[in-house]
Structure 1
Amino acid sequence: MEEERNMERGMTADQLLAALWRRKALVGAIAAAVFAVGAAIVMTRPSMYEASVVVRVEPQRPGEEMVQRTVSELIEQRLLTVRQELLARPVLQKAIEEMNLYPDIVSEKGMESAVAQMRKDLTVRVEGDTAFELTYANRDPQVAAQVANRLPDIFSAETLKIRQTQAARATDLFNQEMGSLGTAVSSWERKIAQFKVDHLGELPEQMEMNMRGLERVSQLMQTKSEELRVAEARRSDLARARNAVDSDAGRLEAAENGVTRALVQARTQWTEDHPEIKRLTSELDNLTAKRKEAEGRLWAERAERTRVAQLIESIQKEIVDLQQQAESYQARLNNTPRWAHELAVMNRDYEITRTKYQSVVSRKVEAELAQELEAKSAKSLFNVISPAGVPAIPARPDRMTGMMIALLVALGLGVLTGAVLEMRDDSLRDGAEVRERLTLPVLAVVPDMHGKTERRILMPASGARNSVSSPTSLN
């Protein structure tokens, strides 16, 4: 309890100074020891030299209005992530391997630890909209400058490699897409061609031809119907005339037979020079000629009837053929709307595929051009506007500041130690402390004689009976 009260009591500045002066040897020793340790730490820390390089990112040329680029990210946009990309393992590992950095760390802990250490030694800061500053720290100023100047080249090479890879991947993608779309276009063309062959005559573009054909067949049917009507009328007339011709030929044939019999009978009675025989012979010749003429007319009428019958049959066949043609044309016209819809769907899909194919072909050409431009403009994208020089003085540690901090820490620990010891000390050094810490009244104070002998008798206070205070020594 007494110790807690001692810790809780306060100290004035004078008391603190007095306490430190009483313990000046201890406070000085502690401050000197702490300062020595701090100074040793500051002085033994290795000197680190920093070299900085400023790189400007040049805008891409030509612009988007001239060439449609396949790498969507503009080079200027990479400034937003330049720190992450510069500190990425591929860039740092290539620099470590190329310049043989951190050989001890690589051999003992591996490449990952070396990359982690290099990340600690690198500082990247974006400057404005199109530039960034890279600072590298190393114990060797020559190495610091070399690494600072080399890192932008490595970063540029890696960045351009990525962009060229993206451009090449886009070109390959367009090539593959163009091949698949080309196959699809050829397939649609074959389907449409086969569809037109399968439905030849029923296609929409042939509708007008079919309508004209149907109209022509209808007119022919009307003409043949009229010819059929005339031929049938002719056949009726020949049928009516046939009986009369047959009767005339039969009558002449009967008369000829009668004259022939009379001539035969007359020849049995008379000679050839007889007038009766000459008359009968002349009459027979006349009847024979008329019979033959009548039979000729009969054969002609029969031939005409045969011809008319054949004509009628031919016209009827032609009419049947024309009717079939008309039905065929009508069927084509009836099927045209159906095939027109299917063909329109096929043509629509074909046009969509062909449009995609043409677009991909155009994009492929642009992708190839963009790939060439990426390769040609590779060297001009990153421009070092302020190369790193060899640093003359180390950037850290700041030994003067470190020594000041060590001195302040040493003094602080010395003062703190003296104050703590003073607060834990229970000694009473003056009357004020006695009156503050004791509940008894103080009658007198015997000062420190510093080795001299002095005797004082403390007389009891007035009013006290038979009370004598023994002398007390205050240290």
Structure 2
Amino acid sequence: MEEEVKELGDYLDIIRRHKYWVLIPAVILIALSGLVAYLLPATYKSEGLILIESQEIPNDLVRSTVTSYADQRIEVIKQRIMTTSKVMVLVRKHNLYPDLRKKAPISEIVGLFRENIAVTMVEANVTDPNSGRTRRATIAFRVSFMDKSPQLAQKVANDLVTEFLVENTRVRTERASETTKFLEAEANKFQKQIQFTENKIAEFKDKYSDSLPELLDHNLSITERSQTELAYNQNQIHALKDLATTLRLELVNINPYITQQIPGAGNQIPVLTAAQKLLQTQAEHDRLSARYSENHPDIKALNNQISDLEQQVEEEAKSLDKPSSNGRFTRTRNPIYGQLSAKVNASEREVLRLQQRNELITQKIANYDERIVRTHQVKRAYDDLTRDHENKLRKYEELRAKQLEAELAQNLESENKGESFTLIEPPLVPSKAEKPDRVKLFVMGVVVSIGAGLGLALLIEMLFGGVRGYNQMTRILGKAPLVVIPMITTVQDLQKRTRGRLKIMVAAIILLGLCVAGFHYWVMDLEVFWFKLLRKISLL
């Protein structure tokens, strides 16, 4: 059997058959809608307009420490103002929601207060001076509050606007102050680190005072001069030794003593040659010393001969200017020999002095060579210390410069020369209710009421329907009935129908009462629910 398709006439028949199920709920709901629309309390809205003014002093001269966007700061301020403690201060100050405060928890009161607040941004197209591009920017924002009392709405909105202005100034000043304190603390840390590094450098210099890298050129210069002096002295020693050797050779040919005949004496005696032999032996010793060491046998033999000859010379010196045993001759020192001997002795003393000087110079060169070698070893550690000191000093100077900029920015914020919020439209006492829209609510109630009645009639038809009417019989049987006999309703039928309807209504009322009681005790207090329901309806 094909599915039955209802036509418009069928639906009209259903409505006629169940006209009471359509009319009674519709009339009741329409009356309730009108009553609700009329009895709903009016909600008034008071709002203020706050302008976001840019910094008075150019950013090129003084840069602010607050770099976040305006809408971001507004949202942060809003969250700070909307804390539970601050909300409850405003609620108690203006005695908001007195009935609800007696029964509802604080969280619900705070939530209701937050729902009544609105912060909306006012945006406009602005041109970025740096890039030249056009973008959307927040230039102002509105702060509003809704309440049943227009006076309370204005007072709370005014307090909220004041909170935004004060909180913005406080946040900006606090941000600048925190930035300054942070930079100052960091700079002080680096200052202590620099002092510690400087102490380490001072200790390092004390420990390696003669091997520091900056003394390398000085040490090299002294070493070079000492080597030059050493070479010069060595040449002088060779020259003096050569001179002494030459003088000794000359002394060989000169008799150190002169023998004079006493008047009346005979011929002269031969001149003594011990001193001459001594000079010859010393010259030979000097010649061999250049080739052999002191331990050589020839050198040792010459040293023994020199000792013997020196004794002979001393013995001869004792007999100077004394007459001989026969009294005919006297001996005196040869002045030429004495002069040459003095030159030889002076040369030998100078050679000895230069040799002692060379020993000191050699020791000095060794000392400075050790310093130079140690300088290369010290240089790496010293460079690490100085590099660390320079880096910390540079960072310290940067932090101090930033600290000065932060202090300027702090003064900028404390004197309200930076970006600021300016109230250009203060909240006023509203003269017209913002919500609810009573006409709109009533029209919606009428539409919903009629729809509910029609839906109830269709539901009853689906639950208790059957084959009704001439057309349905014809569609089902495929043939038209011969006679249509209308339904004959007796008094008993009417009474039975009335009792059935009463039972349904009583059962519905009892069920509704049980549901309301269960909701009240297990879900939510009815007074709180009614208040929230009115709030939601007023927002429509």
Fold-level match, TM-score > 0.5?
A: yes
What residue is the counterpart of 1:39 in the other structure? 34
Which letter does structure 1 place at the counterpart of 2:53? E
1:406 maps to 2:445 = yes
Which letter does structure 1 place at the counterpart of 2:206? V
**Deviations 1:96-127 (CA, angstroms, capped at 9, x unpaired):** 45544345555544543322111211222221
Aligned residues: 417
Which letter does structure 1 place at the counterpart of 2:30? F
DSSP 3-state at the match of 1:397: coil
Closer, same or farther: CA 350–66 of 1 in aligned 2, 3 Å: same
Q: Hey, what's the Cα distance between the residues in 2 that align with 1:62 and 1:94?
A: 37
Q: Hey, what's the Cα distance between the residues in 1 that align with 2:45 and 2:323?
A: 156
Worse-superposed segment, 396-405 or 208-217: 208-217
DSSP 3-state at the match of 2:256: helix
Q: Hey, what's the Cα distance between the residues in 2 that align with 1:447 and 1:329?
A: 141
Which letter does structure 1 place at the counterpart of 2:333? A
1:56 maps to 2:12 = no
Closer, same or farther: CA 320–251 of 1 in aligned 2, 3 Å: closer
**Contact 1:79/1:126 (CA < 8 Å) preserved in 2?**
no
TM-score when normalising by structure 1: 0.73
1:179 pairs, out of 188, 200, 222, with: 188
1:205 maps to 2:244 = no
Closer, same or farther: CA 65–97 of 1 in aligned 2, 3 Å: farther
**Contact 2:55/2:417 (CA < 8 Å) preserved in 1?**
no
What residue is the counterpart of 1:415 in the other structure? 454
Which letter does structure 2 place at the counterpart of 1:215? E
Shift of 1:355: 0.3
Shift of 1:208: 3.2
Shift of 1:34: 1.9
Q: Hey, what's the Cα distance between the residues in 2 that align with 1:330 and 1:449?
A: 141
**Structure 2 unpaired stretches of 5+:** 124-137, 258-271, 274-312, 491-540
What residue is the counterpart of 2:421 in the other structure? 382
1:189 pairs, out of 198, 223, 226, with: 198
**Contact 1:55/1:133 (CA < 8 Å) preserved in 2?**
yes
DSSP 3-state at the match of 2:333: helix
What residue is the counterpart of 2:368 in the other structure? 329
**Deviations 1:321-354 (CA, angstroms, capped at 9, x unpaired):** 1222223333334444443443333222211111
**Contact 1:95/1:151 (CA < 8 Å) preserved in 2?**
no
1:126 maps to 2:165 = no
What residue is the counterpart of 1:151 in the other structure? 160
**Contact 1:95/1:154 (CA < 8 Å) preserved in 2?**
no
Q: Hey, what's the Cα distance between the residues in 1 that align with 2:374 and 2:95?
A: 83
Q: Which has the larger radius of gyration?
A: 1
1:244 maps to 2:239 = no
Shift of 1:45: 2.6
Q: Hey, what's the Cα distance between the residues in 1 that align with 2:318 and 2:172?
A: 120
Q: Hey, what's the Cα distance between the residues in 1 that align with 2:175 and 2:411?
A: 12
DSSP 3-state at the match of 1:202: coil
DSSP 3-state at the match of 2:447: helix
Shift of 1:419: 4.5
Shift of 1:445: 4.3
What residue is the counterpart of 1:469 in the other structure? none
Which letter does structure 2 place at the counterpart of 1:316? Q
Shift of 1:405: 1.9
DSSP 3-state at the match of 1:47: coil
Identity within the alignment, %: 22
**Structure 1 unpaired stretches of 5+:** 263-282, 452-475
Shift of 1:396: 1.6
Give the superposed CA RMSD. Answer: 3.9
**Deviations 1:50-73 (CA, angstroms, capped at 9, x unpaired):** 122222212234343222433332
1:336-355 to structure 2, matched below 5 A, reads: 336-355=375-394
**Deviations 1:369-424 (CA, angstroms, capped at 9, x unpaired):** 21221222279611223222211222222222222222222222333344455664
Closer, same or farther: CA 373–94 of 1 in aligned 2, 3 Å: farther
1:140 maps to 2:149 = yes
TM-score when normalising by structure 2: 0.66
Q: Hey, what's the Cα distance between the residues in 2 that align with 1:427 and 1:300?
A: 172
